[in-house]
Amino acid sequence: MCDVLRHRGPDESGFYSADGVAIGMRRLRIIDLATGRQPVCSEDGTIHTILNGEIYNYQQLRRQLEDRGHVFKTATDTETIVHLYEEYGEDLVHHLRGMFALAVWDGRRRSLLLARDRLGIKPLYYHVRPGGLAFASELKALLQLPDVDCALNWGALDHLLTFLVTPPAQSIVAGVSKLEPGQLLTVMPGRAPRIRRYWQVRFEPDERLTEPQVVERLRALLVESVSLHRLSEVPLGAFLSGGLDSSTVAAALAWQSSTQIKTFTMGFRDPRYDESAHARRMAAALGSDHHELMLDPDISGYLEDIGWYLDEPFGDSSAIPTYMVSKLAAQHVTVVLSGDGGDELFGGYERYQVEARERGYRYIPRPIRALLAQVGGRMPEGAKGRNFLRHIALDGAARYIDAISLFKPDERRRLLQPDVAQLASLEASTWAARKMSDQSPDHWLSRLQQWDLGHYLPLDILTKVDRMSMAHSIEARVPLLDHVLVEFAATIPPRLHRAGGQSKHVLKSAMRGLLPEEIIERPKHGFAVPLGAWFRGGLEGTLRDVLLSDRSRVRGIFEPRYLRQLLALHARGRPLDLQLWTLLSFELWCRTFLDGAGRRRSAAQTVGPQVRFAPPQAAPLAAGAGRGV
């Protein structure tokens, strides 16, 4: 299990085993290089802890614990968790400020505690087995266990085809689950594992707040968070796209650094996607040691590696430049700061602007909208206006979920073989709209922020950054997602985010005078990839060869006729690059993990076996001890 996670910690490994328990880890040395080896145990040797991530307030916690009589034998943040557990039990998580997936084995009570950080920055998978439980930072580690059958979770496939990612609590493999952000899992002999949520932010705007109050508090929290995230005994730098979020983080880092900081960016030869000039100007303003890499359209040589490190099928193509910029950064630093989270916290996504406009559809009488939807449904696929007519018939949460869906339900039904469609149930869109409605704040923008912070951010953005940075053995940190800052941002009135008709107004106001005006005022530019051009150019052959291969056909999952139709529509100019990338990612995952069971670093077979049709994940939880990485 540890061997396949060597990229997450190439510096050393550590293990502890006793009757009924075995824990292990791979370490990337960042804090306490000399004595910070894990697992870390208590003074009496009964409590053992492993940690993936960083506890940024550990020095303050250490002083408090020493005042209460605890004796430390290392200078690592991990040991703080041991003593916090002695004081507070599983409530230790409320004292932590950081990113983490952690495990605490209590030999006295024979109990195992697993916990994941509040925002889901670090991953944690687990597998309940008869009489026990196994856990790991990545799915591929669990696939090393002979009793973990690599059978597809069909509901997770439906979620992937809808939202580009697998579900919050399930993986693509039946029987392997994810601990969700802000959750604890405890296991004790004779009892079923218990999961509880210890933190969840709710967007509840405080309308009493004025813009000057918000700006002052936001600036202070940004500086404080970056100061905490600077904690490192190894070289540290920052990703810099030239956008507002990454520029904010890089600037705060530069202000607090006594030496020149290092910044890293990825560029494209296609000017429609290239932000490198903006990043260069921002780097010049900061006086940073700036490094950039232009991504070549021929990425076929990286596809297998990217798929292996992503660990699950993944439809966000920005994983490609994230992988490459991480590779660049790894030549110079071990820790990088990233600007992720700003769009969710400060209302920056373009789809928020679209929703603001589309809210006007609710004034069209529902019978008329229903009639227009029927007209659209009778139009041939690909016909102009077909999706628009169907879309405007929807209301509220259902309309937003439809807007962010990759394949619509009727498209998934045509894409999947009939027996697979029945197993997959095609309920992802309905589930998401219902869940979004059930937990929605009052204001429509807060509602979208709440959803994206709890779903899109951890499942897509943070998954991508964690896997692609760890692929090159560097640690990516996200200062904008310090939970104290997040809790404050959730109180900012939506009117301040959209004041003057612009997005992120309050963040721009906070950074005005501190960042170049051209960075503050430039239009948002997502981390997009020119996949469409690549799939019509040098990657067209690879795409067709993989999706229409005998190996893919034998799996019996997708309808070959529909795949050919998608390829033909894309060749004629319809923008289906994300759909095709998601299908390509899934097939490459199948070749590596399903055919080869993920137990070695290769696709392994020339033609893989047919997929075993496992039922949707619904295994009962059982009691037991743990094994984990």
Across 155-184, average pLDDT:
97
| pLDDT at site 352 | 92
Among all chains, which residue has been given the structure tokens 């469609």?
421
| pLDDT at site 603 | 32
| pLDDT at site 393 | 83
What CA dihedral angle connects 52, 34, 475 and 203, to 10 degrees? 50
| pLDDT at site 622 | 30
With residue 221 as reference, give the H or E element that holds it: helix 211-229
Q: Is residue 605 pLDDT above 80, yes or no?
A: no
Do 608 and 555 contact (CB within 8 A), yes or no? Answer: yes
Across 379-393, average pLDDT:
80
Q: Does residue 613 or residue 592 have the better pLDDT?
A: 592
Query: Residue 78 CA to chain centroid, in angstroms?
Result: 23
| pLDDT at site 538 | 83
> Rounded to 5, what percent of the chain is helix, strand, coil?
45, 15, 40
Question: Which CATH fold topology does 211-348+453-521 show?
Answer: Rossmann fold (3.40.50)
| pLDDT at site 390 | 83
What are the structure tokens assigned to 247, written together? 């520029």
Split at pLDDT 50, 70, 90, the class of 323 is very high
Split at pLDDT 50, 70, 90, the class of 527 is low
User: N- to C-terminal Cα distance for the chain?
Assistant: 7
Split at pLDDT 50, 70, 90, the class of 597 is low
Amino acid in the structure at residue 585: S
| pLDDT at site 531 | 85
Across 253-273, average pLDDT:
90
Residue 216 dihedral angles phi and psi, to the nearest 5°: -65, -45
Contact partners, residue 250, CB within 8 Å, separation at least 6: 238, 239, 240, 261, 263, 282, 283, 286, 288, 337, 339
Contact partners, residue 54, CB within 8 Å, separation at least 6: 30, 31, 77, 98, 99, 100, 231, 475, 477
**Cα gap 174→150, rounded to integer Å:** 7
Residue 529 Rama label (left phi>0; alpha psi -120 to 50; beta): beta
How many CB atoms sit inside 10 A of residue 45's CB?
Answer: 10
**Cα gap 44→622, rounded to integer Å:** 30
| pLDDT at site 205 | 94
Q: Is residue 40 pLDDT above 90, yes or no?
A: yes
**Cα gap 167→424, rounded to integer Å:** 13
Taking each helix axis from N to C end, the angle separating 244-256 and 276-286, rounded to the nearest 10 degrees, works out to: 20
Report how far apart, in Å, the C-alpha atoms of 298 and of each of 302, 509, 542, 591 are.
9, 41, 11, 21
Q: For residue 40, what are the β-bridge partners?
A: 49
Dihedral (CA of 525, 529, 531, 533) sign: positive
Taking each helix axis from N to C end, the angle separating 462-470 and 319-329, rounded to the nearest 10 degrees, works out to: 40
Amino acid in the structure at residue 223: V
pTM of the model: 0.92
**Cα gap 116→186, rounded to integer Å:** 12
| pLDDT at site 424 | 93
Across 235-240, average pLDDT:
96
Split at pLDDT 50, 70, 90, the class of 610 is very low
Does the domain at residues 3-200+619-628 carry the CATH identifier 3.60.20.10?
Answer: yes
Q: Is residue 598 pLDDT above 90, yes or no?
A: no
Across 259-263, average pLDDT:
96
List, by residue range, all CATH 3.40.50.620 domains of the chain. 211-348+453-521
Q: Does residue 529 or residue 617 have the better pLDDT?
A: 529
pLDDT digits (tens, 9 = 90+) for 532-579: 888 888 889 999 999 999 999 999 999 999 999 999 999 998 899 999
Q: For residue 294, what are the β-bridge partners?
A: 267
Q: Does residue 424 or residue 35 have the better pLDDT?
A: 424
Do 163 and 405 contact (CB within 8 A), yes or no? Answer: yes
List, by residue range, all CATH 3.60.20.10 domains of the chain. 3-200+619-628
Across 72-95, average pLDDT:
96
| pLDDT at site 388 | 84
How many CB atoms sit inside 10 A of residue 196's CB?
Answer: 10
Average pLDDT, the chain: 90
